[in-house]
Amino acid sequence: MDKKAKLAEQKPGMAYLTIEQRDFGGSGASAGQGRDPLSARLRAGDRAAAAELVDAYYEQIYLFIRRLSHDRHTSEDLTQEVFFSAWHHIGQLKDDKALKGWLYRIAANVSRLYWRRHRQNEVVGIEQIDLPADSEAGPEKAGHQEQLEQVRDAVAKLPVKLRETIVLHYLQQLTIAEAAEIAGLRQGTFKSRLNRALRTLKKSVI
């Protein structure tokens, strides 16, 4: 999976997911009408479906974990843990259409558990994620890049729960409803936490 991680880091425009990637119903998972849903094939022990699951969602889950301020090596390990857990606990998924959200919840839980176990670790910061080279970058581009790095640094320094809300809604570009479900919060609670994170960020970058 390390090759997939490297591709995800180097992919142009990786700072934000495309509209197609945001489809919460699942990208590759819903391909091929008339076939059993991917989750149903996973429950049946179909190993080809397991490979398909990784192909469809690895990039999104890896970048989500990476943006939660884990370093590259840890992000690879945690992403593998997410898919391993999904394979072994697929029976817990009751709604076939909720596969993607379920994967995100596993990823969020894996990340939280890691931080609880490694509270002493220094936050790496999502600014460490490689950005594609831009040969035409000029002064304006450089200024924008500097501002972006300041924001990323500020996000990385947020408490884990606040950082998660920013990453889910703004970097992974999930809706409030989707992000709140993944965070295990009511929408109103998620919005309040998100607003608190934004207020903290504004103080940090002004």
**103 and 164 belong to one structural domain:** no
The gap from C-alpha 102 to its chain's centroid, in whole angstroms, comes to 12
- Residue ranges making up the domain that contains 70: 20-124
SS3 of residue 165 by DSSP: helix
Same domain for 83 and 168, yes or no, is: no
CA-to-CA dists, residue 151 to 15, 27, 115, angstroms: 12, 29, 21
Total of domains in the chain = 2
Look at residue 11 and give its three-state secondary structure: coil
Per-residue pLDDT of the chain (206 residues; tens, 9 = 90+): 666 666 666 554 444 333 333 333 344 444 444 457 898 999 999 999 999 999 999 999 999 999 998 989 999 999 999 999 999 999 999 888 889 999 999 999 999 999 888 776 545 444 444 444 444 455 555 555 676 677 778 888 899 899 999 999 998 999 999 999 999 999 999 999 999 999 998 887 76
Residue at a domain's end among 124, 151, 174:
124
CATH number, residue 62: 1.10.1740.10
- Shared domain for 152 and 119, answered yes or no, is no
* CA-angle at 78, arms to 47 and 71, nearest 5°: 140
Same domain assignment for residues 101 and 186: no
**How is residue 126 annotated by DSSP?**
G
Place of tokens 């894996």: 110
